Amino acid sequence: MRAWELQGFSLDELVLVERPVPEPGPREVLVRVLATALNSRDLQVIHDQYDPDQRLPLVPVSDGVGEIVAVGDEVGRVAVEDRVVGAFAQGWIAGERTWERWLTHLGGHRDGLLQEYALLDAEGTVRAPAYLGDAEAAAATSAAATAWQALVVQGGIHAGQTVLVQGTGGVALFALQFARLAGADVIVTSGHEEKLERALALGACAGINYRESADWDERVLELTGGVGVDHVVETAGDLARSLNCLRVGGLVSCVGYLGQLDLDAAGAPDWSYRTGIIPVLVKNARLQGLSAAPRESYEEMYRAMERARLRPPVERVFPFEEAVEALRYLKSGAHFGKVCVAGAAS
């Protein structure tokens, strides 16, 4: 089978190779990958900006959908021909995240899905919503589950609240859609007017161009009558501004840090970024860090999505052979929503 193998920490060292088709163990399933969806985290892994202990070679990319073609002897919850997605952390089924559960994540600790066939833990799979196409199902995985965890599971989002989402990537747009599903208002920030217009069409009540309004947090306060938003889905790492436009007692869900990813001369991340404690105390703020979600959250999320027939925004689907080009396109920041790669056999 064909697989994209990361042999060094660079897009230039992501190489299309031949590998043997793996056989599932007793509690594993073998899936024929139908589509994958890309995340900024995939680029961080590829450029050695995610885990200082990352081992190579590695098949990257955590998110995707596939058809089960073989199952292990002890598998009972799914069957051959089921179309499934894999939970980001294969061993995180329910409850709180632990290191043991977390160190089962695809495209990092384990080989990911940018290959023709892939092994998944049977307990780490979820049947994909039937109404979604393959690219849409691949898109509605870890980014969607992170937004669901932030707003619904941990955030208790409800009608009448106001949510700030930063940017128009996967997590941000799923957060927009889930907040609107709950009856909340959403303010979106972006550096591109066209993307803000698309976000408004998707249901946002207001958009702020942070390139034109450097003090975008002050603009958020204006839009909320000086009160601030109930919830910030923080993807940039600009925590000081997020706290400034948060209402007293509000919640900031920290799911990204792209705006604070400073690199040293060797290209390694500087993890020394700190935020002063005073703004947190003044706002009586609640802060939570989030990365993906347990399998049970995927299941709950899919039930809600199916009832609402919610469809994830998919910007573009690249052929399997153009996976590197797809990652370069993601890196360019030109996308709105998800960038996907078709399966090798599609």
> In the predicted model, is pLDDT for residue 79 greater than 80?
yes
Share of the chain above pLDDT 90, in %: 79
Can you tell me the distance from the alpha carbon of 144 to that of 79, in angstroms, rounded to the nearest whole number? 25
CB 178 within 8 A of CB 157: yes
- Of the listed ranges 276-280, 308-312, 332-336, the one predicted with least confidence: 276-280
Give pLDDT tens digits for 149-181. 999 999 999 999 999 999 898 899 999 999 999
Per-residue burial over 15-34, b = 16 or more CB atoms within 10 Å of its CB, e = otherwise: eeeeeeeeebeeebbbbbbb
Q: Which residues contact 80 (CB under 8 A, 6 or more apart)?
A: 68, 69, 70, 71
Q: Which residues contact 60 (CB under 8 A, 6 or more apart)?
A: 4, 6, 14, 42, 45, 46, 107, 112, 114
Question: Per-domain residue ranges for the chain?
Answer: 2-143+292-342, 155-289
> In the predicted model, is pLDDT for residue 346 greater than 60?
no
Q: What CA–CA distances, in Å, run from 176 to 1, 169, 195, 280, 316?
A: 38, 11, 13, 25, 20
CB 337 within 8 A of CB 176: no
Can you tell me the distance from the alpha carbon of 118 to that of 116, in angstroms, rounded to the nearest whole number? 7
What secondary structure letter does DSSP report for 61? -
Per-residue burial over 283-317, b = 16 or more CB atoms within 10 Å of its CB, e = otherwise: bebebeebbbbbbebbebbbeebeeeebebbbbbb
Q: What CA–CA distances, in Å, run from 5 to 87, 220, 274, 290?
A: 21, 44, 35, 28
> In the predicted model, is pLDDT for residue 269 greater than 60?
no
Q: Are strands 125-127 and 117-121 parallel, antiparallel or unpaired?
A: unpaired
Give the architecture-level CATH label for domain 155-289: 3-Layer(aba) Sandwich (3.40)
- Mean pLDDT within 70-98: 95
CATH match for 2-143+292-342 among 3.40.50.300, 3.90.1150.140, 3.90.180.10, 1.10.10.10:
3.90.180.10
In the chain, what are the helix, strand and coil shares in percent, each to the nearest 5?
A: 30, 25, 40
- Mean pLDDT within 223-227: 96
| Torsion sign across C-alpha atoms 201, 204, 206, 212 | negative
More confident residue, 236 or 278: 236
CB 225 within 8 A of CB 247: no
pTM score, whole prediction: 0.91
